[in-house]
Amino acid sequence: MAQKKNVTFNDIAEYTHFSKTTISRYFNNPDSLTLENQAIISDALVKLNYKENKVARILANGKTEFIGIIIPSLYLHYFSEILDRILSTYETFGYKFLVFVGNEKKEVEKQYIKELLAYKIEGLIVLSHTISSKSLAALNIPIVSIEREDQYICSVNTDNYMGGVQAAGLLASHNCDVLIHINSPTGKELPTYGRIQGFLDICEEQHLKHQVLIRDLKADYESTQAQLEKIIDDLDRDYAGQKKGIFISNDTHANIFLNLLFRKHKVFPEDYLIVGFDNSPISREAIIPISTVGQQIDKIAYEAVNLLVELMNERKKRRPVPLEEPIHKIIPPVLMRRETTEREERA
């Protein structure tokens, strides 16, 4: 085998004539040695071709510097963007990320988490929905969730309720005759249910005609397309001649909806207004820039890792203080007014 035997503390001690304790101090508390002795050991490391063995360090102090990320899939721009931002915190916090894509397979996900625990990861960021927060809390490691049921675990989320209020408020301010919200099936325990509640509250407060259309849009493109085409046909028939304000739960689907409208009518019809959610790149790259409730992805990713690092650091203390209640951080959304609602800017 081409690999050489690893250089050990023993080898370094023998080579430098220092004790093993001194070598250990060089690695763990270098300032306790004179600069001269530091230089002698440092030279020896180069000569011996010493490579730090982090696995041995993990065994010694239990620190792996690994965080697991469980994400449902990378199809929605929102997920790939937030993963990109979380991974980019390596420069700030130094943690490395083991990433798992769940694809709704609960048993595989459980198996994966079991393995991660065996590898002594320090913490977990969970975006998938398959395992309850109660089961996750029982794992007894630091966990932060994003946009999923989070009763028993810490979380960082967009203020979804405010997002729903902003979207409905924007459509209402343009004097729409009817407000429509299109979303996937969403349990009331999920943070994203706030989008539906915020929408409903504004409509009821302002006595606006409205409808919430719940469709399973998480499947493949063909079925998503078919369902959105059906919605457009229904809306064209049921609300002919009326100004329709459409609030769609993410920009990926808002873009598909807009394109299907175009394909059917050859233009963006005068009686439609559209607001998406997320401020994904596609909302700006669309045929007409799409108004959207922007999630501050950078901030969410940073706050999630930051909170997790705090929890992990507490855990490393000699007498860690357990949290009395899970921490739920809320990040405000930012409304982006673009051409799918601001007609005067078009033409």
**Residues near a copy of itself (CB under 8 A):** 1-3, 51-56, 58-59, 64-66, 73-75, 80-81, 83-84, 87-88, 90-91, 96-101, 103, 105, 108, 112, 115-120, 140, 221, 252, 255-256, 259, 262-263, 266-267, 281-282, 284-288, 318-320, 322
Nearest CB to a copy of itself, comparing residues 7 and 162: 7
Nearest CB to a copy of itself, comparing residues 86 and 196: 86
β-strands 334-336, 291-294: how paired? Answer: antiparallel
In angstroms, what is the minimal distance from the CB of 91 to a copy of itself? 6
Residue among 301, 252, 250, 278 at smallest CA distance from 69? 301
Residue 230 and residue 222: Cα distance in Å, rounded?
Answer: 12
Residue 239 and residue 236: Cα distance in Å, rounded?
Answer: 6
Residue 171 and residue 35: Cα distance in Å, rounded?
Answer: 68
In angstroms, what is the minimal distance from the CB of 278 to a copy of itself? 14
Residue 244 and residue 290: Cα distance in Å, rounded?
Answer: 15
Residue 173 and residue 342: Cα distance in Å, rounded?
Answer: 11
In angstroms, what is the minimal distance from the CB of 53 to a copy of itself? 7
In angstroms, what is the minimal distance from the CB of 77 to a copy of itself? 8
Nearest CB to a copy of itself, comparing residues 178 and 300: 300
In angstroms, what is the minimal distance from the CB of 55 to a copy of itself? 5
For the CA atoms of 121, 141, 61, 58, the dihedral, rounded to the nearest 10 degrees, stands at -10
> What is the 3 state secondary structure string of 8-32?
CHHHHHHHHCCCHHHHHHHHHCHHH
Nearest CB to a copy of itself, comparing residues 320 and 332: 320
Nearest CB to a copy of itself, comparing residues 213 and 288: 288
